[in-house]
Structure 1
């Protein structure tokens, strides 16, 4: 077979990129074949095997991105850097006359033809091209380009012969002899070379070494078979501060090896690389931001190598499978603790399903001030200790309360009022949990709430109401019942007195799921009154000032004497249950309540 094909060869067929992994014959099929792995995993047919015989391994685990293609199948022709640059930024204007533009105003019926004899049609109507030549000429001045995007242009760059000479020890040959890039575009400071046909990292370096002002480099979606760098090109990335290597399928040690050639690197993006651990090799200590989204990390301990970055400020871990700290891999002498400079962490779209990891965050990230933690399983199945379902917003409030130093959550700045509400709500939930558990379990329960004592000092201890006997299992049927004590109001007393009967209060246990309609039926039957003529008022447990009562300004008092005097003019706050299908359990926090009955 032609020597032009070899493992690691990059090809493109109809703009679909692939990497050759196998060259040769396939049993039972005539002729030679190329075994390729497509960059797009949905493009393939198999995992590199045929009729039970494996011919190559795909770089992605458990992938079916493989195919067999004939060597004589026409592939897309590769372009040089200069060819791609001119194609993108200095193409023939005649190729650009079909514009997709939406017109909101009227277009004159007769529009003159432009100077090239070409007519532009907008929404089926002819329009004169105004100003496009000026823009095109400005773009065509390649010498002035600062930002260049050359992604998906089939760029290939066989290493120049002079680099081969340098590799063989010819000291007269230096990188200064490379001029093809700087001759045409010397002022570039941001360059995107993603998803092209590069096979060696030296090809990227041979471009970048000619760009003295380059600070941002993207090389996403390339597949490098060789990441070594000659001394000739060692200074290629000396000014680059931002590097992106998404979807390159490089291993951690390979990424670190590449980054070692960036002495001033600040930001590294390595998303979608199927990374599972950051072990051994260490990144440059200059790095302040690391993006590791869409990888395969399972625990925070998998990122232990990043704890050695003294200036790390932002860590992006969205769309991984993180569910735990992974403390089983740690030791007391070497705990998992990131630099205090790290104050911004993104853990959204992971597999966090318990509060254990949330409670460990202040230890792992002692400088944490901002977090994104949305779309985790924990917030999809929350329940309070008494079995009540909690919403995702309730979960975010509890998260906010558990992380005392947090200032921003899910891109929203936490106000002092939001923190107050969150922390008092968290204390109330702890109170419910203590109320629903035997006193012997109190110490174990409080051990799971590390901020409990701190919050009690700030707001006071929550109310804990235990029964004399052991609490009922909150998941049992009994826990779903509420003891309702109904007592007659003045209107009911007067009505029954007119009949010669005496109104007495009564108690009954009913499910939380009972509707107000059903409740009216029970009460009406017991009192012998029409259900829909009744009104129910449930006590909330709060104190409200009665008309003319003395609670003082703001509902507060400063002495026991004032308190006693205020209570004389105070009543218990009530809420009316409006007849409907709403469940009565929505108004009741505990397992018992008092309800006043009146006639409409």
Structure 2
């Protein structure tokens, strides 16, 4: 409760726009500069969670060069009258109002009187039972029936309800109100400390998932028994947008021994602290018990982390069971292969939207023993591919990014959210292999590289070359048209046949020869043949008949994957595409 307490450090919400902040100063200000005789009035100095809500940095209006209080983010503060602010309310009050219902919510007389007394004594506007709703002291049978429904709630969403404490009278009854509650969302409320939260959670014996996103919590550390009873059963803890630092997590760790999932996104984290090296990749066995021995999922998205070795030191020291890591939207520039041994249990990694600039980082992931699910979108290495070691003709840029990444990541069964089937992998690797063969041929001929130089470049850019050649055989060198940039060499002459049916010996009804670009997709090709063969608008199927070499039979391939390009299927001039109407 706020009555009789200093307001400094208390969390508030603006009554008009709903912005949340923290009281950093209270005192008298004379805001009418034109009238020096004007009486000074009381104001509260607020540091806003959303910095853009502020107007200054705690400067004294009468002397802007002086500060009445300090804020973390420049221009994130303003002075506000008390009556424009809403202070917190009790947990049970908010929970009953939401789940029992508003309108005519019966409230015990003692609770209503207590809220009125608090407002009178403190001069503050308070959330309380009956505010903005009719209060009546009848209908208790109906009330009891609704309260009985709370006994069956397993998931409670109480975000953004202005909750700040647990009332002393509620403390002994809360466990009876939510006896089976397992998942509680207290995001965007007005708590000031971890102890305030623990007063609530210790009364919920089944609780194992707690979301505190967008709160600002101080770790007082004055009541270890309370913190233990409040958090020791938690398995999932979400602290996104709380501006929590890793040092605070280290203080909290002894009270959360059973965590399996931890969410620390959107916290402006740039480092884990000086005791974790940002450069060393030496990971000796630790003689200190891990802080999070059961943690399996660690989410650090939308921060400013940049040191991969430092992250590895944290995981090595404190998270031996980690299998899921999300570091998307950070500033990592590399993944070092020598750190793979740290991730013995890791199966899932999201490192999208970082600054990875070298394929070495991608190839390093093959050393992670169990890693199969990888998200790696929108890193510079995938957006630009400047082959500084050879001419443009030695590039493999015409390999699709999906095929390229699939072929480089040898164990991945899911890439960027899409499952990779055995067929997908074989198709991608065969296509990739043929293009690397053309790239090597160009290095040896056009770029005039020696065998030793070629070997080094292949190891750097395509380290799976030997492995894939052993699996599928070394492909023939692609013709000039596969690597030339000249338009005449990027067109392929094909014969399009409209046949009477799906049988290979079905009669030919119409035949047209036409040149098509190697980069044309099957979807575009389907539309083209529909026009030239006069079957536009009809449902058709296509297959390619690729002529074999001397003494070899023709090869038939189904052309079903609409986003594949003509060049993927290794057509040669004079090959045939057969089309029939279903």
Decide: shared fold, TM above 0.5: yes
Aligned position for 1:44: 54
Residue 272 of structure 1, CA deviation: 0.9
Asked if 1:307 is matched to 2:310, the reply is no
Aligned position for 1:86: 96
Change in Cα spacing, 1:216 to 1:594, as seen in structure 2 (3 Å) is closer
Could you list the per-position Cα deviations for residues 255-306 of structure 1 after superposition, in whole angstroms to 9, with x for gaps in the alignment?
Answer: 2322321121111111111112235485411101111111112243241211
SS at match of 1:69: strand
Aligned position for 2:296: 288
Residue 160 of structure 1, CA deviation: 6.0
Q: Unpaired segments of 5 or more residues in structure 2?
A: 34-39, 106-140, 277-289, 492-516, 519-544, 557-565, 576-582
CA distance in 2, matches of 1:589, 1:228: 66
Aligned position for 1:17: 20
Match of 1:316 among 289, 311, 326: 326
SS at match of 1:345: strand
Residue 244 of structure 1, CA deviation: 0.9
Residue 199 of structure 1, CA deviation: 0.8
Aligned position for 1:426: 432
**Which protein shows a greater Rg?**
1
Q: Unpaired segments of 5 or more residues in structure 1?
A: 96-132, 162-176, 468-473, 487-511, 514-541, 556-585
Match of 2:458 among 410, 430, 446: 446
Change in Cα spacing, 1:93 to 1:553, as seen in structure 2 (3 Å) is same
Question: Superposition pairs for residues 508-519 of structure 1, below 5 Å?
Answer: none
Query: Contact 2:21/2:49 (CA < 8 Å) preserved in 1?
Result: yes
Could you list the per-position Cα deviations for residues 76-120 of structure 1 after superposition, in whole angstroms to 9, with x for gaps in the alignment?
Answer: 14211111111111233469xxxxxxxxxxxxxxxxxxxxxxxxx
SS at match of 2:210: strand
Aligned position for 1:367: 370
Change in Cα spacing, 1:223 to 1:543, as seen in structure 2 (3 Å) is closer
Residue 357 of structure 1, CA deviation: 1.6
Alignment TM-score, normalising by the size of structure 1: 0.63
SS at match of 2:181: coil
SS at match of 1:156: strand
Aligned length: 439
Query: Contact 2:147/2:177 (CA < 8 Å) preserved in 1?
Result: no
Change in Cα spacing, 1:249 to 1:551, as seen in structure 2 (3 Å) is same
SS at match of 2:231: coil
SS at match of 1:235: helix
Residue 150 of structure 1, CA deviation: 1.4
Asked if 1:386 is matched to 2:402, the reply is no
Residue 24 of structure 1, CA deviation: 5.2
Query: Contact 1:159/1:203 (CA < 8 Å) preserved in 2?
Result: no
Could you list the per-position Cα deviations for residues 310-334 of structure 1 after superposition, in whole angstroms to 9, with x for gaps in the alignment?
Answer: 211111122223332379xxxx7xx
Query: Contact 1:484/1:595 (CA < 8 Å) preserved in 2?
Result: no
Match of 2:86 among 76, 84, 95: 76
CA distance in 2, matches of 1:320, 1:485: 40
Query: Contact 1:299/1:325 (CA < 8 Å) preserved in 2?
Result: no
Asked if 1:275 is matched to 2:269, the reply is yes
Alignment TM-score, normalising by the size of structure 2: 0.65
The more displaced of 353-362 and 414-423 is 353-362
Match of 2:547 among 544, 548, 563: 544
Could you list the per-position Cα deviations for residues 187-223 of structure 1 after superposition, in whole angstroms to 9, with x for gaps in the alignment?
Answer: 2111111111111101111111111111111111111
Question: Superposition pairs for residues 550-569 of structure 1, below 5 Å?
Answer: 551-552=552-553
Asked if 1:147 is matched to 2:155, the reply is yes
Aligned position for 1:265: 259
CA distance in 2, matches of 1:91, 1:543: 71
The more displaced of 41-50 and 253-262 is 41-50
Residue 181 of structure 1, CA deviation: 1.9
Match of 2:473 among 441, 460, 470: 460
CA distance in 2, matches of 1:25, 1:389: 70
CA distance in 1, matches of 2:574, 2:400: 28
Match of 1:199 among 184, 192, 210: 192
SS at match of 1:18: strand
Asked if 1:219 is matched to 2:223, the reply is no
